[in-house]
């Protein structure tokens, strides 16, 4: 595609100000929709690991084993 | 439960099995969505000719119409799984219903804004209180209502049941959106693509539109599975299979 054809394509027959924002919104919203569960998954697993670590530390104490020193919240 | 339902359906309904199944299917659906999306956009933006009345502004159709179809399709999925969730109390059906809502809201939002961007140059206005536009806006509010109600409860499953009830009541709006252009005199144009009978659109414009429709369907499955997997981890946090996953991803 040469420069002129590209310019014609981007101009969208004078409707560039309507067509391209529509397409941009389409992608932005769907990318946000994709990222949301990815970030939520990380948070859920992180919280779960913290809970598990606390649990095993408590079990370690009650069974008389010296627990590894952790920074308690 | 009844014997006529094959065993694999029961198995697929169990959270760990579905989690694994969705994990395998999801990347393939995302790949198909990207592939068909790229093809559809190339066909729609580059290959298809300009419209003789609307010039190049009509090219918004390739995202506007597929998203509008998805906004109704996802609501139907949400409604059906809400019924299943309320009648049979299947956890997976609750999750599918509740995780469909944000995706449906996203597609409805895209439909409204792209429609507005199309309406300005063609009708001379961003918005009008016309039957099609108003019922689509009500659809967005229904989605937001379901999401809000779901999160308003301390107990997730209780919230899901309340929101599922709202989703079922809201189903009435889906045929209203669909038939609004036939029932009322609207500024919004009638259907150009018909399931039965000839469509009022040239093939060079139709095939990219249908390809984009396919792309949004694949995308929905991928996004839904990704969301359901996350939700299952959150809901089943106390179970062994989730703990194993949490420990397995410790290195990151």
Kindly determine whether residue A48 and residue B226, on different chains, have CB atoms separated by under 8 Å: no
Task: Return d(Cα B78, Cα B52) in angstroms, integer.
Answer: 39
Kindly determine whether residue A22 and residue B114, on different chains, have CB atoms separated by under 8 Å: yes
pLDDT at B118: 93
Cα angle B246, B19, B146; round to 5: 100
Structural domains in chain B (count)? 1
pLDDT in tens, B176-210: 998 888 888 778 887 777 766 677 788 888 999 99
pLDDT in tens, B144-181: 999 999 999 999 889 999 999 999 999 999 999 988 88
**Mean pLDDT confidence for B228-246:** 90
Residue B110 forms part of a structural domain: yes
Which domain range does residue B68 map to? 23-190+200-235
Residue of B nearest to A34 (CA): B223
Kindly determine whether residue B56 and residue A45, on different chains, have CB atoms separated by under 8 Å: no
Residue B72 forms part of a structural domain: yes
Q: Nearest 5°: phi and psi at B20?
A: -70, -45
Contact between B223 and A28 (Cβ < 8 Å): no
Cα–Cα separations (whole angstroms), residue B175 to B42, B194, B233 = 32, 16, 35
pLDDT at A72: 47
What was the ipTM of the complex prediction? 0.89
Residue B240 forms part of a structural domain: no
Residue B248 forms part of a structural domain: no
Residue B2 forms part of a structural domain: no
CATH number at residue B207: 1.20.120
**The pTM of the whole model exceeds 0.80:** yes
Chain A residues close to B233, C-beta within 8 Å: 41, 44-45, 48
Return residues 186-245 of B near A (CB < 8 Å). 219, 223, 226-227, 229-230, 233-234, 237, 242-243, 245
pLDDT at B188: 86
Alpha-helical runs (H) found in chain B: 7-12, 15-42, 61-88, 91-123, 131-151, 156-170, 173-183, 203-235, 240-248
Residue of B nearest to A45 (CA): B246
Task: Return d(Cα A34, Cα B126) in angstroms, integer.
Answer: 28
Contact between B82 and B117 (Cβ < 8 Å): no
Residue B130 forms part of a structural domain: yes
């Amino acid at each position: 595609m040469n420069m002129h054809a590209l310019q014609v394509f981007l101009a969208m027959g004078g409707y560039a100000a309507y067509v391209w924002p529509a397409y941009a919104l389409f992608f932005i919203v769907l990318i946000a929709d994709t990222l949301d569960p990815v970030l939520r998954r990380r948070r859920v697993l992180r919280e779960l690991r913290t809970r598990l670590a606390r649990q095993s530390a408590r079990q370690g104490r009650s069974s008389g084993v010296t627990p590894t020193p952790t920074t308690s919240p | 439960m009844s014997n006529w339902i094959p065993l694999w359906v029961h198995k697929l309904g169990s959270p760990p099995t579905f989690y694994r199944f969705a994990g395998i299917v999801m990347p393939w659906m995302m790949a198909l969505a990207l592939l068909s999306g790229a093809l559809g956009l190339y066909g729609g933006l580059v290959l298809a000719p300009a419209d003789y009345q609307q010039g190049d502004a009509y090219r918004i159709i390739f995202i506007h119409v597929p998203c509008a179809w998805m906004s109704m399709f996802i609501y139907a999925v949400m409604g059906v799984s809400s019924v299943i969730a309320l009648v049979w109390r299947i956890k997976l059906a609750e999750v599918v219903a509740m995780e469909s809502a944000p995706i449906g809201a996203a597609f409805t939002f895209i439909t409204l804004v792209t429609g507005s961007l199309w309406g300005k140059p063609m009708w001379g206005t961003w918005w009008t209180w016309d039957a099609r536009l108003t019922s689509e806006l009500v659809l967005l509010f229904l989605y937001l209502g379901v999401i809000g109600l779901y999160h308003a409860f301390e107990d997730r499953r209780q919230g899901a049941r309340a929101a599922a009830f709202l989703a079922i009541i809201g189903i009435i709006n889906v045929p209203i959106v669909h038939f609004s252009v036939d029932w009322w005199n609207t500024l919004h144009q009638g259907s150009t693509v018909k399931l039965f009978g000839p469509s009022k659109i040239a093939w060079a414009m139709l095939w990219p539109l249908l390809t984009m429709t396919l792309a949004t369907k694949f995308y929905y499955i991928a996004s839904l599975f990704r969301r359901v997997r996350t939700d299952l981890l959150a809901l089943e946090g106390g179970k062994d299979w989730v703990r194993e996953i949490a420990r397995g991803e410790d290195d990151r």
